[in-house]
Structure formats: C-alpha cells, structure tokens
C-alpha cells in the first residue's frame, strides 16, 4: 500500500517521531501536552465518540491567554518584548513587553466583561494589523469569549454575513486600515454591515486612528482608548476553559456563497502549535518569529498571534507590504532590525519582491546573521521563486502546506527535527498525526506517483477543526462524506516514493489569489444578481504575480441593448463592492454563450486550460463545439490565452 511515510533512510529525527505519533497517538500527544499549562491536566488525548469524528483532550481544562501571556510574565519573561510592531504604513514602531501585553489585555478584558461579554459569547474583530487587534483576541481568550476576526479587505456584505452567523455580543473595530494607495475607512463598512445584518451586537468598541477618525453611533459605539484607560489596572482572571471549548471561529470561503465558520478548539490547538514551534520551525523560546501574513487569515491567527506567544517568542507585527513600503527590501530590513530567526510568508510576496529586485540587491546591507529559515505557504510555491530565494538568502526555503481548517501545517520540512532533503515543488512530508494519502475517485489509495485527491485518514490531529460553527451536519457533508473514514482536503496532488507530498490545486471552486482563498461560486452569485446578466461563469486564470486571478464570463439577457463594456465595468465594481477589493476581480468578459455539456454543466476546467495556454481537448460531451472557440477569441481580444 502506498503511504505518505518518509523513506527511513532520510537523515533526520523525523521518521522516528512520525512513526511514534502514528503508532501511539495517545502517548505522543499527551507528551506534547506537557508544554502547555493546564488548570486540569488531561488524562486522555482523544475521545473518538464525540462530535463529527472525535475530540482532543476531552477532560482537560486551560486558558489560552494564560498560556500566551501570564505564564511568561510569571516565568521570567516580563521584560522580554512580546510584540514588535513595525508599521511602514504609519511610520510607527513599538515594542510591547510581556508585562505591557498583560496590562493591555487585562484592561481590555475588563472592558469586554463590563459590556456583558462572558464565556462562550462571540466577539467579532474587524481590524488592521495593529497591536490592539492582538490585545482584542487575547482579551477574548482571557474571559472565555470566542473571537472571530474578519479580514479588512472584505466588503460590508461579507462582514454582515459573518456578523449574522456568529451573532457577536460586541464588535471590535478600528476606524481605518492603511493600504499603500489609500486609507480604507472601516467604520462606514461596519455601519453598513450592521445596517443589513439581522443580528445587532450590544456594543462596538472603536479604535480611532488619526488617519481617518470615525463618527460614533450614540448608545452603541464606544471609544476604545477611553474605555481601556478607564479600566487600567483591572485584571480579570483567566477563565479555565474545557480543552474542547472553541477559542475562535474563522470564516473561510466555502463552495457556496455562505462562508464556513471553522471552529478552533482550545486544547488541541495550543498543543499542536506548541509542538510545531520547536519541531517544525526550529524556533526556541526567546527568539523572534516574523510571520508576514495578516491576522484576518489562519496563518496570522496561528503564527502571528498564538504560536510565537505560547512559545515565549517575540512576534513581529508588520503593517506593510513586501514591496512599495517603501521598497522590496522591506522584509529584509524587518528581519535584520528585529533579529528574526524564522520568516514565514506567501510565495506571491516572494514573486512581488523578485519582480522588483531580481538580483536580490536589497538583501545586501541588512544584517541577516540571526536569520535561519524562510517558510512559504498559502499557495503552490513555484520552484523558480523558491530557487531564487535560496540563492539570494543563502538559507533553506521551506514550502509547507496547510488550510484554514487544519490550523497548522499538514506537511512541511521539519527543520527542528533536522532538515530533510528539499525537493522543489513539493511540500515535503506529513506532520505527526496526519495520515495523508492520495485517493482515487472511489476512495482507494493510489500507488506512489499517481495523482488523485489528497485525503487525511480520520481522526484529524489536534489543532484541526472539530466542526463548523453551528453545524456538525455541514462539517460532515463538506469534508467527511466524500470518502467515509477520511477528511477530504479538496486539494489534488501526488505523493512520491519517498513520501513527499506535492499539492497541485483545488478540486472544488476555490481559487487562490495572492495567497487569499476565494470562492468563484461566491463571485458568480454577485455577477448573476446584476439585472442584465442571464448567466455567468468565473474561473481562476494564471497570473504571474498573484498565482491566479479571477475572470468572469457573462452572457447578457436577450433584451439588453446597453454597451457591454459599461456592464462589464459595473460587474467589476459590483464584486469589489459586495465581496471586497481582496477578490481582485478586474476582468469581466461578455460572451454570447457559455460552453456546456449536453447535461448543462459549464465546462470551466476547459475554459481555464484555454486561458492558461495549456493543451486542451474538445470534451466529447460538449453541447456546441463552436462556443469554446468564441471563449478563446474573447480572451485573445484581451491579450489572454491562445484561443
């Protein structure tokens, strides 16, 4: 039987560690749990008959804020910098020690408690990359509330959908975020979201940033700074939570317009993150970790906030871009100034840097002596960019694979256990607890080297989602029913004879734009709601910088006599307005017909091959072969594809 287990010849402790986790998961994870402070120590690691596929550490209790903050203050790290905020967007730098962090988080927790927030209540955060966002997440954790962070690049409608689903008692928001080209006023977006959401939170706490002050709604909105100043010195206790209690809900694109609320439980998550810091990332307590993502994404939750703080590291909070703030040397400057040992970013960021500084000349002049490893994730790392980074940085570059659902990497090269041989294009080997296999359409594991759907044998390891918010049923139908006994990753790929996993792309309608996960189905819903559109199809087409870029094909209603170019502009604006700028939807093409099978299924995969200049064959089931030529022509007219 093919297996994802690595070749035993590889010179690393990985093989033994992974083998033990497979053979004795109870013992392995109970040992790993010792790195965490528990108010009630777990006596068992896993309870199979609980939830959709079982629950981790069913009898343990702990508090995430205690583990990330208080215990470091108590344990001698009070004066160590916990958060190094570096914001080229505002020209600000700030060093926040663990003692400062405890004060800030405690006061904010008191404010939330005064607003009626308690154990199990939800709090939505709609905030940019500022320290207060981290204080907010940790303050929720302190008092047992469940936070849900919404990425700032989403529009009011997306925020509204999440408010409606999470039903938060309080919303924490900033007056604005800062993009290189503009100040994004968040408050009007929040107001619009609250106007349409049926659920109304009791209060909104608004962080006023000088770049765009927000007007406050009497009776509902409070000024963040004033409220926290009034609570200074107060320190609500850390509430002991069941390990199975949710720490947060993070919404991610699903295959329908309705986002999935990925639930993260407390105990399993902290144990898995803690294991990953020393064993996967090879980082020790006290060192500096720089994850250049955003707190709105899972990568930010795990590796800007929780993992580095749990591990007693200094985390870098960077409010800027890889290029343009001010130049493609920005990351190297931050790495040097903060003494970063491990940098984690998305391949798209690397491509952006490479495009502007192909020689890597911006690396020179920065002292990178403490820097050891670059980690990449979020989308497929193209071998050319990886090789470029290895050359200019002269350090190992590790591609690792994960999903919002898993909360920590499924596969990677575990540097802390001894670097395994690097194979460009592959995300290396599975982490402990992940039994990864490639399955055929019937759910049978395929021989090594054969492509198929990548699945993980149940149970998923600690840290992965136990369920979806409010719906065990959707959890089952989305992930567990396609292949009974397995979690369907919806990624296609291949595992080679050494057990190395290569992820090739999604099997569903999710596309990955600049490392951001987006649903083409969601965009189609927006296009279809335009009064002039009869039908549409959105596909992700190859983009040299962003990996993929969405492209929408629309068929107009028969009676529409307006200029199609004008309608196309309206459609681009509509997606930006309803989903957000992050969708990067810039291309709508009017066509006469969409290519379909005789049973009416739109041939999106063939359209994508045409747009991506890839060889394609005429599907035997096509309704009208001439339509594909028309699609090719319309792409060619915009300089895309070969027709």
- If one asks whether residue 378 binds ligand AMP (CB under 6 A), the answer comes out as yes
Among 77, 301, 354, 380, binds ligand AMP (CB under 6 A): 380
Distance between CA atoms of 30 and 18, rounded to whole angstroms?
15
Q: Is 478 in the site for ligand COA (CB under 6 A)?
A: no
Which of 146, 239, 352, 417 contacts ligand COA by CB under 6 A?
352
Minimal distance, residue 499 CB to ligand COA, in Å: 24
* DSSP assignment letter at 582: G
CB of residue 298 to ligand COA, shortest distance in Å = 8
| CA distances from residue 444 to 54, 505, 570 in whole angstroms, order as listed | 23, 20, 46
User: How far apart are the C-alpha atoms of 244 and 264, rounded to whole Å?
Assistant: 9
Binds 321: which of ligand AMP, ligand COA, none (CB < 5-8 Å by kind): ligand COA
Closest Cα partner for 321 from 456, 164, 132, 129?
A: 129
List, as one string, the DSSP characters of 263-298.
EEESHHHHHHHHHHHHHTS---TTSEEEE-S-TTSH
Residue 550 interacts with ligand AMP (CB under 6 A): yes or no:
no
Q: Which residue has the tokens 């939830």?
A: 51
Q: Which one-letter DSSP state was computed for residue 30?
A: H
CB-nearer residue toward ligand AMP: 351 or 517: 517
Q: Are strands 203-207 and 221-223 parallel, antiparallel or unpaired?
A: parallel
Per the listing, tokens 């936070």 go with 147
Residue of 71, 517, 604, 608 that binds ligand AMP (CB under 6 A)? 517
DSSP one-letter code for 169: S
- The yes or no reply on residue 393 touching ligand COA (CB under 6 A) is no
184 interacts with ligand COA by CB under 6 A: yes
Residue 245 is classified by DSSP as: S
The gap from C-alpha 568 to its chain's centroid, in whole angstroms, comes to: 30
b (16+ CB within 10 A) / e for 423-433: eeebbbbbbbb
Are 3 and 21 within 8 A, CB to CB? no
Q: How far is the CB of 543 from ligand AMP (least distance, A)?
A: 15
Task: Return the range that interacts with ligand AMP (CB under 6 A); candidates 201-209, 393-401, 467-475, 599-607.
Answer: 393-401
Residue of 42, 339, 378, 540 that binds ligand COA (CB under 6 A): 378
Kindly identify the residues of this chain, within the stretch 421-440, that bind ligand AMP according to CB under 6 A. 427
12 binds ligand AMP (CB under 6 A): no
Contact window for ligand COA (CB under 6 A) among 271-279, 346-354, 429-437, 488-496: 346-354
Residues 6+ positions from 190 with CB-CB distance below 8 Å:
126, 156, 159, 171, 173, 204
Task: Decide if residue 165 touches ligand AMP (CB under 6 A).
Answer: no
Is residue 403 within the footprint of ligand AMP (CB under 6 A)? Answer: yes
Near ligand COA by CB under 6 A: residue from 42, 131, 153, 552: 153
- The residue (of 227 and 428) whose beta carbon lies closer to ligand AMP is 428
d(CA 376, CA 363): 18
Q: Is residue 344 classed exposed, middle or buried when 0-12, 13-18 and 19+ CB atoms within 10 A define those classes? A: buried
Binding to ligand COA by residue 297, rule CB under 6 A?
yes
Q: Which stretch binds ligand AMP (CB under 6 A): 327-335, 402-410, 527-535, 553-561?
A: 402-410
Does residue 491 interact with ligand AMP by CB under 6 A?
yes
CB of 369 to ligand AMP, least distance (A): 28
Instruction: Answer yes or no whether residue 83 interacts with ligand COA by CB under 6 A.
Output: no
The enclosing H or E element of 619 equals none
Residues facing 342 on adjacent strands = 289, 373
User: Please, is 76 exposed, middle or buried when counting C-beta atoms within 10 Å of its C-beta (0-12, 13-18, 19+)?
Assistant: exposed
Closest approach of Cβ 477 to ligand COA, in Å?
27
**Interface positions, 490-549, toward ligand COA (CB under 6 A):** 514-515
- Contacts to ligand COA by CB under 6 A: 128, 152-153, 177, 179, 181, 184, 293, 297, 299, 321-323, 345-346, 348-349, 352, 377-378, 514-515, 581-582, 584
- Contacts to ligand AMP by CB under 6 A: 252, 298, 377-381, 399-404, 427, 491, 503, 506, 512, 517
């Amino acid at each position: 039987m093919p297996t994802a287990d690595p070749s035993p010849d590889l010179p690393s402790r990985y093989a033994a560690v992974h083998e033990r986790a497979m053979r004795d998961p109870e013992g392995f994870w109970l040992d790993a749990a010792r790195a965490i402070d528990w108010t009630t120590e777990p006596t068992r690691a896993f309870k199979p008959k609980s939830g959709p596929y079982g629950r981790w550490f069913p009898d343990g209790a702990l508090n995430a804020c205690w583990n990330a903050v208080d215990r470091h203050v108590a344990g001698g790290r009070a004066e160590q910098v916990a958060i190094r905020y570096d914001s080229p967007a505002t020209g600000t730098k700030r060093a926040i020690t663990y003692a400062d962090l405890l004060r800030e988080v405690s006061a904010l927790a008191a404010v939330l408690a005064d607003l009626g927030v308690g154990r199990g209540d939800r709090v939505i955060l709609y905030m940019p990359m500022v320290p207060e966002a981290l204080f907010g997440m940790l303050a929720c954790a302190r008092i047992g509330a469940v936070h849900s962070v919404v990425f700032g690049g989403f529009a009011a409608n997306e925020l509204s959908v999440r408010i409606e689903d999470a039903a938060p008692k309080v919303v924490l928001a900033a007056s604005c975020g800062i993009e290189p080209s503009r100040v994004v006023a968040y408050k009007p977006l929040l107001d619009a979201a609250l106007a349409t959401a049926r659920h109304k939170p009791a209060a909104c706490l608004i962080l006023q940033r000088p770049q765009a002050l927000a007007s406050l709604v009497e009776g509902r909105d409070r000024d963040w700074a004033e409220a926290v100043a009034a609570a200074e010195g107060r320190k609500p206790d850390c509430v002991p939570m069941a390990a199975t209690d949710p720490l947060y809900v993070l919404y991610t694109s699903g295959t329908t317009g309705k986002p999935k609320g990925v639930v993260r439980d407390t105990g399993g998550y902290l144990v898995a993150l803690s294991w990953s810091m020393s064993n996967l990332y090879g980082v020790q307590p006290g060192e500096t970790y720089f994850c250049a993502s955003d707190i709105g994404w899972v990568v930010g939750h795990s590796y800007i906030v929780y993992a580095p703080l749990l591990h007693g590291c200094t985390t870098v909070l960077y409010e800027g871009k890889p290029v343009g703030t001010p130049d493609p040397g920005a990351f190297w400057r931050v790495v040097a100034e903060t003494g970063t040992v491990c940098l984690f970013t998305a391949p798209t960021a690397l491509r952006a840097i490479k495009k502007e500084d192909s020689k890597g000349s911006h690396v020179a002049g920065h002292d990178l002596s403490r820097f050891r490893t670059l980690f990449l994730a979020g989308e497929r790392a193209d071998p050319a960019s990886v090789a470029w980074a290895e050359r200019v940085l002269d350090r190992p570059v590790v591609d690792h694979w994960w999903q919002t659902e898993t909360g920590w990497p499924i596969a990677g090269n575990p540097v802390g256990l001894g670097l395994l041989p690097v194979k460009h294009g592959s995300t290396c080997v599975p982490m402990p607890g992940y039994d990864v296999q490639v399955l055929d359409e019937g759910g049978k594991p395929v021989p090594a080297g054969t492509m198929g759907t990548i699945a993980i044998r149940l149970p998923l390891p600690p840290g992965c989602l136990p369920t979806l918010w409010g719906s065990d049923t959707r959890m089952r139908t989305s992930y567990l029913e396609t292949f009974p006994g397995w979690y369907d990753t919806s990624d296609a790929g291949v595992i080679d004879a050494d057990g190395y996993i290569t992820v090739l792309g999604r099997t569903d309608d999710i596309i990955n734009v600049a490392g951001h996960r987006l649903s083409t189905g969601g965009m189609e819903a927006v296009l279809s709601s335009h009064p002039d559109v009869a039908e549409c199809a959105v596909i992700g087409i190859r983009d040299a910088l962003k990996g993929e870029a969405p492209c929408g094909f629309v068929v107009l209603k028969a009676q529409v006599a307006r200029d199609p170019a004008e309608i196309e502009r309206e459609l681009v604006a509509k997606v930006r307005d309803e989903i957000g700028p992050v969708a990067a939807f810039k291309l709508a093409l009017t066509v006469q017909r969409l290519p379909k099978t005789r049973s009416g299924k739109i041939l999106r995969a063939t359209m994508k091959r045409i747009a991506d200049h890839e060889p394609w064959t005429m599907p035997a089931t096509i309704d009208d072969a001439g339509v594909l030529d028309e699609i090719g022509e319309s792409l060619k007219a915009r300089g895309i594809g070969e027709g």
